[in-house]
Amino acid sequence: MGIISEPTLLLNPDICRRNIRTMNNRIKKWGGVFRPHFKTHQSAVIGEWFKEEGVGCITVSSFKMAEYFARKGWEDITVAITATILNVDIINQLAAKINLNIVVEDGYTIQVLEEQLKYPVGVFIKADTGYHRTGMDADDLVEIKGLLNKLRDTRKLIFIGFLTHAGNTYEARGVDSIVKETELSLQKFLALKVFLKDSFPLMQLSWGDTPGCSVYDGFQGVDEFRPGNFVFYDYMQSEIGCCQLTDVAVCLAAPVIAVHPQRNEIVVHSGAVHLSKDRVTKGDGSCSYGKAVSLRGMEWDVESEIGEVKTLSQEHGIIKAHYDKIISLKPGDVIGILPVHSCLTANLMKKFLTTEGNLIQMMQ
Amino acid sequence: MGIISEPTLLLNPDICRRNIRTMNNRIKKWGGVFRPHFKTHQSAVIGEWFKEEGVGCITVSSFKMAEYFARKGWEDITVAITATILNVDIINQLAAKINLNIVVEDGYTIQVLEEQLKYPVGVFIKADTGYHRTGMDADDLVEIKGLLNKLRDTRKLIFIGFLTHAGNTYEARGVDSIVKETELSLQKFLALKVFLKDSFPLMQLSWGDTPGCSVYDGFQGVDEFRPGNFVFYDYMQSEIGCCQLTDVAVCLAAPVIAVHPQRNEIVVHSGAVHLSKDRVTKGDGSCSYGKAVSLRGMEWDVESEIGEVKTLSQEHGIIKAHYDKIISLKPGDVIGILPVHSCLTANLMKKFLTTEGNLIQMMQ
């Protein structure tokens, strides 16, 4: 009996390390600081692979995640989700031990934090450069200057600069489109330095998104880079156009539980609780929850396509498959599924089995 | 500082126990066996609430889940996902200790299991009665009789009957529509008894789906019922029309991290890793990832609507909110989100905080 008998998230360390090295080299070339987002892998072991490339500071997406990585020895952490007064206790616990940066975007929170924090923390103001999720509108200098005024005399909140997440690049399809979205956001972002550098000459600009960081090279003026997803990439990123399927470092091994040739369908034990219900809209308008490919042992073959995951329930996935692939499969075989969104799949699976047969745990 | 400072899945035990009691009474009225699906709550503590109502046997959606509940004292478990030859070892481990039922739908698997199992297990044949996911087409008597022949002389695989999941009812909107979908599937299902009872007079029919079990009453001839989601219900079930929002027993408490009145938006710390990316299509064609309501302490108020979750990223949710609600909220407040799909939300959150302040762990 082989090792794999249930849905298992496989990880290829060579591809993963190559992704880390490539991104690290790009950012070095631009002269910036690499502060990778660890929300994609959430793993101390993979964190070590970053350390081996010289990375010394990280980004996380929650205070809980910051606690985990602080326990694992990381001493310079930015929590990229906007902080609120609810986070006072955990900020105090963390800032007692490590160099912590938080993100703010409103005056009330700044006021309460300044009163209640015990130790200094670095503060970024979240800037909205087109994604319209969180952040102060980067064009709204009046509002921004109002917030900066509140940070002028604070002793616990030490203003570092502006942080943006150019999530609008995820709507792009193809390198030209990624470049266009990146340039639109970057223009607004760099303008902040132009307008504010007289008052804040040491102000830093911190940029994060995998598509832009993967294909764009015009980042002069940006000081720090926080991409995260590139560590694994995924099916969505390949559709966006910033990587190849051969750059995807993870693949969900999924047992075949039923074969329905008359419907061109294979049913796999791989559902929403393994992949997530994130789906990608492809160039032809069709949707997919994952790309099914052949698996030999623990190696998957992106050239050997089986089909697309069309439907997901809690534990089941239905793949619309090519007929010649269906007739070669039977219940008990195991296939591979390249996940649409590797951050969400990893978050669900909570551990990896490497192609070398080692188990890597993630933050629980 | 209040108890809630991060996304927290609240559970109202009164509503939950009421849901359990109501479904139990319905099934008793029909004269059937209640074999509830535990994949929605995945919790030993909530399992005890079922025991208190007289439930003695359960359904689960994976062999791992069966192991967890067997460890917690459950001795009669059906694993409802189609078994394959990959499951031999775990079936042997479980069947050594408890009464285990498995589900099969192909001859090759039957053959290998019969050779390799050490202890007898009960066997259901999965019947497709219209959902077209897994199962033998309930109309295809030739195929079905072929499979039954393979089970005629087996000593480890003890044929019990047919099991179906009428997932097609999830497409319904409104009681009439649920009833129609249920009757379509039930007709095919009951026909199996008519055609096969001479050869298999003890054959059982096992039915599972929350919408049908919640509103339909014509189940004469069905022996066993396996609904699961009803224990909590959710926003999707209320849109399907088989429950009220006041029957929903869980609610995600989500901190407000930013307020954007100019866009009628509130941003909450509640993303795909908390709710899941399942969404519901409402009667007017719009989509939602969750219904935002007011929270007072740990009690949520379904009458006090804040708005709909329109966008989800990994940790962030964007709510399109009513203006009068937005202006009453600020960063650091906590609101409630009724999840679209409570099974997936619970699976992500892995624990509940009851409205009485107790922590309930789920299977890890």
pLDDT of residue A2: 58
- Chain A closest CA to B6's CA: distance in Å? 8
Distance from B263 to chain A by nearest Cα, in Å? 9
The CA-CA-CA angle for residues A122, A123, A125, to 5°, reads 160
Domain residue limits at A146: 13-235
The Cα–Cα gap between B105 and B107 comes to 7
Q: pLDDT tens digits for A125-149?
A: 999 898 888 888 888 889 899 999 9
User: How many domains does chain B divide into?
Assistant: 2
Complex ipTM value: 0.94
Decide if A39 contacts B314 (C-beta within 8 A): yes
Which chain B residue shows the shortest CA-CA distance from A263?
B132
Could you say which of B235, B262, B290 is where a domain stops?
Answer: B235
Query: What pLDDT is stored for residue A39 in this prediction?
Result: 97
Which residue stretches of A242-341 are H helix? 272-275, 323-326
Using the 3D structure, point to which of A208, A235, A262 is the last residue of a domain.
Answer: A235
* pLDDT, tens digit, 9 for 90 and up, residues A273-289: 999 999 999 989 999 99
One domain for residues B142 and B279: no
Nearest-CA distance B105 → chain A (Å)? 8
pLDDT digits (tens, 9 = 90+) for A201-212: 999 999 999 999
Does A2 map to a domain? no
Of B39, B256, B318, the CB nearest to A133: B318
B106:A258 CB<8 A:
yes
| Selection from A200, A198, A188 nearest residue A161 by Cα | A200
Please check whether residue B194 lies inside any domain of the structure: yes
- Confidence (pTM): 0.96
pLDDT in tens, A229-262: 999 999 999 999 999 999 999 999 999 999 999 8
CATH number at residue B253: 2.40.37.20
Give phi and psi for A195, each to the nearest 5.
-80, -25
Is A174 exposed, middle or buried (CB count within 10 Å of its CB: 0-12, 13-18, 19+)? middle
Q: How many residues does chain A have?
A: 364
Strands B157-165 and B136-137: unpaired
A193 and A331 share one domain: no
Query: Is residue B206 domain-shared with residue B276, that is, in the same domain?
Result: no
In this prediction, residue B56 carries a pLDDT of 97
Mean pLDDT of A88-111: 97
Q: Which of B62, B108, B341 sits opposite A331 (nearest CB)?
A: B108
- With beta carbons less than 8 A apart as the criterion, state whether B92 and B117 touch: yes
Between CA B26 and CA B222 the distance in angstroms is 13
Q: Torsion over CA of B169, B170, B174 and B179, rounded to 10 degrees?
A: 10
Q: Which of B192, B217, B235 is the last residue of a domain?
A: B235
In this structure, the answer to whether residues A108 and A168 fall within a common structural domain is yes
Residue A3 lies in a domain: no
E runs forming strands in A153-261: 157-165, 204-208, 224-225, 250-260
Tell me how many degrees the CA angle A74-A78-A79 measures, rounded to the nearest 5: 110
Per-residue pLDDT of chain B (364 residues; tens, 9 = 90+): 357 999 999 999 999 999 999 999 999 999 999 999 999 999 999 999 999 999 999 999 999 999 999 999 999 999 999 999 999 999 999 999 999 999 999 999 999 999 999 999 999 999 989 888 888 888 888 989 999 999 999 999 999 999 998 888 888 889 999 999 999 999 999 999 999 988 899 999 999 999 999 999 999 999 999 999 999 999 999 999 999 999 999 999 999 999 999 889 999 999 999 999 999 999 899 999 999 999 999 999 999 999 999 999 999 999 999 889 999 999 999 999 999 999 999 999 999 999 999 999 999 8
Q: Which residue in B has a C-alpha nearest to residue A364's C-alpha?
A: B364
